[in-house]
Amino acid sequence: MGSGVGGDGTNTDMEPSAEHRHRRRRIEARFDALVRDNRFTIAVVFPVVGAVLLVASREGLLPAVLAYNPLLILLGTLVMRSPLLAGVFPLIDRRALAGLGALVTYAYAIEVVGVLTGLPYGDFSYAVDLGPMLFGLVPVGLPVFFVPLVLNSYLLCLLLLGERAERTALRLGAVIATVLAIDLVLDPGAVTIGFWTYPAGGAYYGVPWTNYAGWVLSAVVSVGLLDWGFRRSAVRERLTECEFALDDLVSFVILWGGINLLYTNWIPVAIAAALAGGLVRTDRFDFRVVVRDRFARGE
């Protein structure tokens, strides 16, 4: 039996084979093509339909079987997350996987603590069925909802900062602020349509300010784990070749910005508009080329 150590002293058992690398590249290429060919549907149509269904659920306009249907919510969310997943998939090596694994573990742990103790987010509870529950306390699908918020913030800030992203304090500070901004849009919309509730209410559209102190803590931990796990040079290189990497953030702006607009939550609307401005600045919010290409193919 071989020792697994190559002639140059490297551990060949730990290195993926050429066949494995080739297979992975083929999967990545197919995933990219699937997302690229359906960008408008994924990033615009799905969040618009999702917003309509959520508002209709809140207003009692849907039959019980469809109102806040957890399967529809999870499947719709997964579809909208697909551009982000395709964008980062080529970047996931053992270190990145370890960072993401730690982030998922943290997300579950802090949410369980939050439900049981009210810390650090304040006393809250889930008001609708979001699918199977871990320990009967938090949705099993929690990472699908939480982790992309941090990843989107990280990618957006790397694009906006450019070379300045090499300054650690500036990079981490900007990402943490963006995570907080995203939650300043998400939580009011989620409370308005009845996803979750804060029994004691709160000054910010029914959300207590203590919730955002908790989010600062979570953002610091989460951003630190991502920054440790991913190689920035590889992320930046991927962003230059992957025009749809931030389409999930486009979906977020349309879905939650639209819901807040409908219910006249003006501060969240303004923050969502600022996020949209960041996407425009990075040239990640322009679908004219997508529509044009679809017409060129006769679709």
Q: What mean pLDDT comes out for the span 279-296?
A: 65
CA 56 to chain centre: 24
Q: Say if residue 288's pLDDT is above 60.
A: no
What pTM was estimated for this model as a whole? 0.89
pLDDT in tens, 222-258: 999 999 999 999 999 999 999 999 999 999 999 999 9
Band of pLDDT at residue 283, cut at 50, 70 and 90: confident
48 φ/ψ angles, rounded to the nearest 5 degrees: -65, -50
- Which of the pair, 148 or 289, is modelled with greater confidence? 148
Report the alpha-carbon angle 125-131-136, nearest 5: 55
